[in-house]
Structure 1
Amino acid sequence: MLDTTPLNIAVDRFADRLRAAPQSRLRRGAAAEGLAAARELARRAQLIEAPDREPYVMPDAGLFTVGDQLAVAGRDLALALETASSAELDEAVREVNEAATRAFA
């Protein structure tokens, strides 16, 4: 069983920053970056869980929900990755950290 703690930590850190960000920062691109990351995490989790089905796209539920969307998608992927390779986990952590850097640069 793969330890997905690094992914959970990266996702929680990014989600918390999004939740705490002022509306102006969210509108300047942080929310869009967070939603893109959440959608990618959700897509990857769905591909692992149901590889023969086209993944659903996470809807845009608004600026103030993106932190929660990211947290849910990250937890879903962490669960799906528990039996995956460490390379897949490392890639997911890297992508979350890069998205957070872009969102708050």
Structure 2
Amino acid sequence: MAESTALTDAVDRLAGRLRSLPQRRLSAGAAAQGRELADWLARRAQELESPGAVPHEMPDDGPFTVGDQLAVAGHDLAAALDAVGSAAAADTVGEALDRVSRTARAIG
């Protein structure tokens, strides 16, 4: 699905940027913004995979893990969207891409 590929590409770019940031920038808010996005992506994936179940929260494993957490959550959501393949999935992809873009701009 082209939309999920666009999502994984965008997530991978942002995850790479977060991995390359110095501790000072991560601690100044970039890690928190990335973690917030990763948590949102993970929750959407869990809702698609297990409707009605209470989603798990993304753990705070420190600023240096946020890039990896973001990548995993984004790829999980893309896989869940591919499995569902409905109009609702297209809406979720659009919202996810918007959130990735806003977070990327906020991080700089």
TM norm structure 1: 0.93
- Larger fraction in helix: 2
Output the aligned Cα RMSD: 0.9
Give the % identical residues: 51
Structure 2 distance, partners of 1:61, 1:51, is: 27
Paired residue for 2:73?
73
User: Any stretches of 5+ residues in structure 1 without a counterpart?
Assistant: none
Deviations 1:30-88 (A, max 9, x none): 00000000000000000010011010001001010000000000000000111133222
Correspondence 1:1-105 to 2 at 5 A = 2-3=1-2, 4-82=4-82, 83-85=85-87, 86-104=90-108
1:19 corresponds to which letter in structure 2?
A: R
Structure 2 distance, partners of 1:37, 1:53, is: 20
TM norm structure 2: 0.91
Query: Paired residues, what number?
Result: 103
